[in-house]
Structure 1
Amino acid sequence: MARKAERCAWVPGPLIVGAGPSGLAVAACLRNKGVPCLILERSNCIASLWQLKTYNRLCLHLPKNLCELPLMPFPENFPEYPSKQQFISYLEAYAKKFDILPMFNRTVVSAEYDNGLGLWRVKAVGGGAKEEMEYVCRWLVVATGENTEAVMPEMDGIRDFNGLIMHTSSYKSGETFRDKKVLVVGCGNSGMEVCLDLCNHNALPSLVVRDSVHILPREMLGQSTFRLSMFLLRWLPMRMVDRLLLMFSRAILGDTALFGLRRPLLGPLELKSLTGKTPVLDIGTLAKIKSGEIKMYYPGIVAVLPTELSVGKSLFSCSDETSDDFDAIILATGYKSNVPYWLKERDFSENNINGWKGEHGLYAVGFSRKGLSGASIDARNVAQDIEKCWKLS
């Protein structure tokens, strides 16, 4: 039986769900316009995904000027691709500069527009007593991002695996796996980078290719691939830019299909715009694959079955039915949004979550499939739109 809200509070300005980069960006833009706001964050810190669920060697994959939040650039002494800790310190300084004080340990469990009142009712659970609180507001900003909940795939026999199984959200360093045989499932940016980290710590990684994937060099022609793409898109249609990127990529990286990394039929930019699937920016993993330091399994797994040879299990490949034993399995299988579970709004479904403005004062920041730069654009748009209503109220 659902617990009744013990308390109810009126929020005069927008209520923002999520204190990650998207939530901080829209809060800063609102504060800059003199509009007060309230942020609810389910974790105990800002940018919890970055602070609690990322590996140690993580760096921004794009240049810093493409990842800065509105109204505050990165420090000049930061490198072109800031590290995880540098990015976290930037976000903490950002929150301090704009006096952003989220309410931590507040998990939103439902949000629904009350047609009778013409207001949003947002219920959250948290605090020391884990009590339920209801917030009533005119504007609701969803800023939880696209990467909230870890995706845990089903594989036959995986529940009986005797070794260690973890999602990349729990992975920190390859030091834990030194001299161990590790199977990494998923060849996106996280899977490829975890494999590289494992190699650098003398582990023995194998990579399961679950799908076709675009692998691009992080830099082309002396500049970042992303920046080059954005420049070319000013003058050329997307499909032509995709053809140029793939031509440059093949010249630099070679034919990735020779190593089991088949490219999708759609080009990298077109695929990103239609599905949100991000191309992998190579930072050295492909060289390890070419040298054989990372063993490849493709196109996927049939089953994980018992073996008497080691603490682990045997992996069976779909392609040739070869098998091997592993001490650990790391699932680089990505994340999904949790918004559809608590937001009672049909226009904000899991399949239609990429616009920044909905109905009845509903907004979204960070769902444009354009990374941190897209979140910054969303934040400015949301703050500007709310400011107009605020001045009239």
Structure 2
Amino acid sequence: RHYERVHLHTAKRFSSLPFAPFPRDYPRYVPRDLFVDYLDAYAQRFDLRPRFGETVRAITRRGRSWLVDTTTGPLHASNVVIASGNNAEPLMPGFAGADTFKGRKLHSADYRNAMPFAGQPVLIVGMGNTGAEIALDLVEGGARPTISVRGGVHIVPRELLGVPIQMIGMAARLMPQRINDALFPIILDLALGRLEKYGLKRPKQGMLQQISEASRIPTIDIGTVSKIREGAIKIVPDIAEITEQGARFADGRHGEFDAIIFATGFRPGYAKLLEPGVQPERSGVNARASE
């Protein structure tokens, strides 16, 4: 369900599954198709048997075991691991006027490639990693993308002096957070330039503070920033309302678009599967589930 050009933004050295590093001939940042090949090989090696196209409807306690109700029938298990992550269900914001828009609306989960949007003005809502990469994909595919950014955004290059930013971030954790949050803006301005003049402001929270307190990772740039500098990708503020032909923004401007892509994130979907009392706490653990 991911768009076709997606690559891991983290280096393969730190992104493999247990007991099976990525093949040596894989690039540092693994593309979608090779990652699928890797998962298939992993499942075969460890005799994992995924059941595709099967939806779990409910998970309930049955004495000391669990009953998993699926679309193809019940399953019984001593233990259940819900590994759907935080990105299970697309999150669609409720903008005023959204129902009046006459163009195409879709969530980033439904975006595949730029082909259907070639030559069209397209609004992307949100500039996380997905929104930034979709905007780049669109401009490379002949579309005219504009990104709506609600607040500040931390943007980092994928590499600094040939070193993956992930490794730099890991090393930076050895220093006090306040020092890192003071130094990183200076380093990033040298690497990417001052982006405020393009409409991209940093949040008040420091980058590492935002990661630790809000679990929000920075946007890892793989070419979007250069397209913004060129003027090929436009930046606008938050949406005030959606209109029949496009959107009106917080600064009063109005833009006309043929499509709006909501790169507005996801939410966990596991809570609805579990009966009250065993839903996990914020930490992901509920001690009562094992009672």
TM-score by length of 2: 0.93
Q: 1:285, CA displacement in angstroms?
A: 0.5
Find the counterpart in structure 2 of residue 332 from structure 1.
263
Q: 1:186, CA displacement in angstroms?
A: 0.7
Tell me how far apart the structure 2 counterparts of residues 276 and 220 of structure 1 sit (CA, whole Å). Answer: 23
The 3-state SS of whatever aligns with 1:269 is helix
Letter in 1 for 2:247: L
In the superposition, relative to structure 1, how do residues 357 and 250 fare at CA in structure 2: closer, same or farther (>3 Å)? farther
1:78 aligns with 2:23: no
**Paired residue for 1:97, among 21, 45, 59?**
45
8 Å Cα contact 1:220/1:248 also seen in 2: no
8 Å Cα contact 1:139/1:361 also seen in 2: no
Structural mapping, 1:29-68, within 5 Å = 53-68=1-16
Gaps of 5+ in 2: none
Letter in 2 for 1:302: A
Q: Which moved more, 1:205-214 or 1:266-275?
A: 266-275
Find the counterpart in structure 1 of residue 176 from structure 2.
237
The superposition leaves residues 162-190 of structure 1 with CA deviations (integer Å, 9 ceiling, x where unpaired) of: 11111111111112211111111111111
The 3-state SS of whatever aligns with 2:156 is strand
1:301 aligns with 2:239: yes
The superposition leaves residues 325-382 of structure 1 with CA deviations (integer Å, 9 ceiling, x where unpaired) of: 1111111111111111112354644xx44346744449xxxxxxxxxxxxxxxxxxxx
8 Å Cα contact 1:111/1:120 also seen in 2: no
Letter in 1 for 2:248: F
1:249 aligns with 2:194: no
Find the counterpart in structure 2 of residue 29 from structure 1.
none
Tell me how far apart the structure 1 counterparts of residues 132 and 117 of structure 2 sit (CA, whole Å). Answer: 16
In the superposition, relative to structure 1, how do residues 98 and 277 fare at CA in structure 2: closer, same or farther (>3 Å)? same
CA RMSD after TM alignment: 1.9
8 Å Cα contact 1:177/1:203 also seen in 2: yes
In the superposition, relative to structure 1, how do residues 104 and 122 fare at CA in structure 2: closer, same or farther (>3 Å)? farther
Quick one: higher RCO (CA 8 Å, sep 6+), 1 or 2? 2
1:354 aligns with 2:263: no
Find the counterpart in structure 1 of residue 249 from structure 2.
317
8 Å Cα contact 2:177/2:209 also seen in 1: yes
Find the counterpart in structure 2 of residue 309 from structure 1.
none
Find the counterpart in structure 1 of residue 141 from structure 2.
201
Q: Which moved more, 1:100-109 or 1:186-195?
A: 100-109
Q: 1:193, CA displacement in angstroms?
A: 0.6
Tell me how far apart the structure 2 counterparts of residues 214 and 268 of structure 1 sit (CA, whole Å). Answer: 6
Find the counterpart in structure 2 of residue 286 from structure 1.
225
1:166 aligns with 2:166: no
1:274 aligns with 2:193: no
Aligned residues, how many?
A: 291
Letter in 1 for 2:143: A
8 Å Cα contact 1:217/1:253 also seen in 2: yes
In the superposition, relative to structure 1, how do residues 87 and 357 fare at CA in structure 2: closer, same or farther (>3 Å)? farther
8 Å Cα contact 2:136/2:224 also seen in 1: yes
Gaps of 5+ in 1: 1-52, 307-312, 363-393
Find the counterpart in structure 1 of residue 91 from structure 2.
151
Find the counterpart in structure 2 of residue 28 from structure 1.
none
The 3-state SS of whatever aligns with 1:141 is coil
Tell me how far apart the structure 1 counterparts of residues 100 and 172 of structure 2 sit (CA, whole Å). Answer: 50
The 3-state SS of whatever aligns with 1:303 is strand
Find the counterpart in structure 2 of residue 109 from structure 1.
57
The 3-state SS of whatever aligns with 2:24 is coil
The superposition leaves residues 173-221 of structure 1 with CA deviations (integer Å, 9 ceiling, x where unpaired) of: 1122111111111111111111111111111111111222110111123
8 Å Cα contact 2:246/2:258 also seen in 1: no
Tell me how far apart the structure 1 counterparts of residues 195 and 277 of structure 2 sit (CA, whole Å). Answer: 41
Which has more radius of gyration?
Answer: 1
Find the counterpart in structure 2 of residue 123 from structure 1.
68
The 3-state SS of whatever aligns with 2:170 is helix
TM-score by length of 1: 0.70
